[in-house]
Amino acid sequence: MTGHVLGELGGGGAARMDDNAAIRINVGGFKRRLQSDTLSRFPETRLARLLHCRSKESILELCDDYDDAEKEFYFDRNPALFPYVLNFYNTGRLHVMAELCIFSFSQEIEYWGINEFFIDSCCSSAYHCRKIVQDREDWDERSDEGSTTSSFDELLEFYSDATKFDKQPLGSARRRIWLMLDNPGYSVPSRIISILSILVVLGSIATMCMNSMSEFSLLDGEGQPAEDPRFETVEHFGIGWFTLELLARFVVAPDLLHFFEHPLNAIDLVSILPFYLTLLINLVVESSPALANLGRVAQVLRLMRIFRILKLARHSTGLRSLGATLRNSYKEVGLLLLYLAVGVSFFSVMAYTVEKEDSEDFSTIPACWWWATVSMTTVGYGDVVPVSIAGKLTASACILAGILVVVLPITLIFNKFSLFYKRQKQLEVAMRSCDFDEEIKEVPSVNLRNYYARKVKSLMASLSNMSRSSPSEHSLNESIH
């Protein structure tokens, strides 16, 4: 619909424009008259859709302004790029000059409803190569920005917790103890405490492992297994240290109500809870022999001491980064499990079909699941192996498919791990440079302009992604495919 038709709207008309009629286009000051038959060759583009508008409101959905007097459509776009659009309408092909910014050109043709499918063969290869490089650079830049922005947010949260001590009794002393316990690299005393805590954790795990060895097992007067006094001493010392450490952190915490919401504090509680529950169960069993079965619960609780190794995450940047990666990569992990499930189901049926008559190990499909899982994950225990030629070929395909299935999602997870590790290192460096000898009067020195610019850029990227999924783009893709 054009100004010719708009003139008839007052009388209720809704006529179409003649094929030989022309419309006036103004793109950022670049004015042209375009024939409607030229535009109609590509009905899903933005300019061609103007020909079918039946009201001024529908026209303004496609252009930025419309001049009733001049019968002119105005678009607030880059006039330097519009000649490429005109050339497309005349020739039916897009051409990309080497000096153009690929990102701007891609956005421009998306706005006009022109698909990259129309880029001519002489420019297509160079265009897509440059776009892949640009996308990779954008990904690296977004990763750096996300790392810096997240680190800044966490640093502000850290300072917010530190300022809470100013209005609390003995706030300055409690803040120094809090920094010493929660930030292993903050000062020399904090490093000493961190090293001692690591040694206690490793000693506790080592005694638990050695206690399971026959060389260190002891028997009591009734012939029942008994705890080695040396290991018991190490265990009690470790529990005392872990309990003291947890209580100290709880006492000096800036917010007691939300103390155990922090994952590392919850791990500290879980690491000592089995010991005290075991003591309670033993007391109940001694006082009431009828509850002797509770002793089995105590044995299970003793095995939960292995969770103490998670305490090392407080002293290891890599472990904390790994936890953050797994917490934020549930989609990739789910994708990996889905791929494995599909592969295991497929190859287990294949193995059952070709091996059921030659090997008893492949007598049922559920029995083949174990073999398929071990093969796809490239573990290869060798306890179940095919014997026929067809079975060996199936096993080879299963192993190769397993390598591809595991590698694809792992790459995405590794990229996230690199991001979180970099962010955690930046946060630690910022925390170690903090000085709290006096009351906090201001937040650390940061470049708020860059921080705000990153936030705005992230917002604009989100809006750009929304515009790319507009109905016009969807209809264009559907018409091409």
Tokens (6 digits) for 4: 């010719």
CA-CA distance, 223 to 387, in Å (whole number)?
49
Give pLDDT, residue 23: 84
Q: How confident is the model at residue 155 (pLDDT cuts 50, 70, 90)?
A: low
- How far is the C-alpha of 358 from the C-alpha of 347, rounded, in Å? 17
Place of tokens 């000051």: 29
Of the CA atoms within 13 Å of residue 299, those in its CB half-sphere come to 8
pTM score of the predicted model = 0.52
Q: Lowest-pLDDT range, 15-24, 225-234, 295-304, 354-363?
A: 15-24
pLDDT in tens, 92-108: 888 888 777 877 888 88
Q: What is the pLDDT of residue 194?
A: 85
pLDDT at 393: 92
Q: What is the spatial distance between Cα 122 and Cα 133, in angstroms, rounded to a whole number?
A: 19
Look at the domain 320-433 and name its fold. Helix Hairpins (1.10.287)
Where does 168-315 sit in CATH, by number?
1.20.120.350
Mean pLDDT of 336-347: 89
Instruction: Work out the percent of the chain whose per-residue pLDDT is above 90.
Output: 3
pLDDT of residue 54: 82
CA 408/CA 406 separation, integer angstroms:
6
Q: pLDDT per residue over 55-99, tens digit each?
A: 888 888 889 888 888 888 899 888 888 888 888 888 888 888 877
Span 247-279, pLDDT tens digits: 988 888 888 788 888 888 888 888 888 888 888
Looking at residue 346, its pLDDT comes to 92
Boundaries of every domain in the chain: 22-133, 168-315, 320-433
* Summary mean pLDDT of the chain: 75
- Quote the pLDDT of residue 5: 45
Ranges 7-16, 338-347, 408-417: which has the least confidence:
7-16
- Domain 22-133 homologous superfamily, CATH: Potassium Channel Kv1.1; Chain A (3.30.710.10)
